[in-house]
Amino acid sequence: MKICIVSRIDYKEPVELAQSIGWMLRDLGHEVVYEQSVAAELGYTPVSLSEDFSADLIVVLGGDGSVLRTIRMLDRQVPVVGINQGQVGFLTDIERDKAEEILTSLSLPLPLDPRMRISIEYNGRSVGSALNEAVIVTSRPAKILKFEVFINGKQIDEFRADGLIIGTPTGSTAYAMSAGGPIVDSTIEAMLLVPLAPYMLSSRPYLINSKSEVEIRLVSVKPALLVIDGQDQYEIGENARLLIRKSSQPALFVDVGRGFFDKVEQKLRLL
């Protein structure tokens, strides 16, 4: 297999682990390459994930942010497996002490766990896709925003809130959960709409069919930000219009035998 290694570089341990795992995989006969930032740390020839990139597998060493950033960099989705070098690590299925055992056992064809993503357009321009969520939030504290929500062209709600989360089932255990949204099985394909600190108690979360087109209109003169997967942000202004649809490219996670509810129990309920 051709395997690309991606690692967070702000701590010494993940970089050292990236080195040792690379040596191990090469000893097993795999072709190993390194993403630009970790390659620079280790002195290897770098590869870019966004320019004609191809590999059979990407191994990500880090936390959920590292996985989200890696998936967002890819022009074409490639199977990903994460080794937890962060905190909760809900998207990183392998703990450090099991890394060598699990990676050694992998072979083609890889067992996959596809995860739905959402594509986002802002005022007619694509701003990419999100695996966890897109968030519209006031850029000034204590300033409330007004939203209009349309499903397949029909207005279903109008409310005021500090912000709005448009999430996926994978993202239901992230920001959306903290804002009062439900935990949704990651094998379900749907979109979550979760208001942030709504002015009216009647403003509740929605679970929307993934085949629907969701339109969000910001009816406010107050400045706001659009934040995608906690990685990229855009300033949006009065009468901003966002269209959200199911992405044609799901994220591809390697299935290492850890069920969704097992992770909920371990990562969330036992914290």
Give binding residues for NAD(+) as ranges. Answer: 64-65, 69, 132-133, 143, 160, 162, 173-178, 197, 231
- At CA 33, angle to CA 27 and CA 35, rounded to 5? 140
AA letter at 214:
V
The model's pTM is: 0.92
Q: What is the pLDDT of residues 131-152, one digit of tens each?
A: 999 999 988 877 899 999 999 9
Contact 69, 92 (CB under 8 A): no
Share of the chain above pLDDT 70, in %: 98
Residue 270 pLDDT level (bands cut at 50, 70, 90): low
Q: What is the pLDDT of residues 154-196, one digit of tens each?
A: 999 999 999 999 999 999 999 999 999 999 999 999 999 999 9
Q: What is the pLDDT of residues 23-78, one digit of tens each?
A: 999 999 999 999 999 999 999 999 999 878 999 999 999 999 999 999 999 999 99
Q: Which residue has the tokens 């910001």?
A: 218
Q: What is the DSSP string of 223-255?
A: -EEEEETTTEEEEE-TT-EEEEEE-SS-EEEE-
pLDDT value of residue 142: 74
The radius of gyration of the chain's CA atoms, rounded to the nearest angstrom, is 20
Q: What is the pLDDT of residues 202-215, one digit of tens each?
A: 889 999 999 999 99
Alpha-carbon torsion, ordered 90, 93, 96, 97, to 10 deg: 130
Share of the chain above pLDDT 90, in %: 79
**Average pLDDT of every residue of the chain:** 92
Give binding residues as ranges. Answer: 64-65, 69, 132-133, 143, 160, 162, 173-178, 197, 231
Q: Which domains, from first to last, does the chain contain?
A: 2-115+250-269 (3.40.50.10330), 118-246 (2.60.200.30)
Q: Determine the 3-state secondary structure of 251 from DSSP.
A: strand
Of the candidates 27, 56, 64, 97, the residue annotated as catalytic is: 64
Please confirm, yes or no, whether 64 is among the known catalytic residues. yes
Contact 123, 241 (CB under 8 A): yes
Gap between the Cα atoms of 137 and 230, Å rounded = 12
Q: Burial level of 238, CB count in 10 A (0-12/13-18/19+)?
A: exposed
Q: What is the pLDDT of residues 69-98, one digit of tens each?
A: 999 999 999 999 999 987 777 899 898 888
Query: Does 125 score more than 80 pLDDT?
Result: yes
Neighbours of 235 (CB within 10 A): 10
Gap between the Cα atoms of 34 and 9, Å rounded = 12
pLDDT value of residue 168: 97
Gap between the Cα atoms of 262 and 147, Å rounded = 36
Contact 64, 86 (CB under 8 A): yes
Q: Which residue has the tokens 């059979």?
A: 56
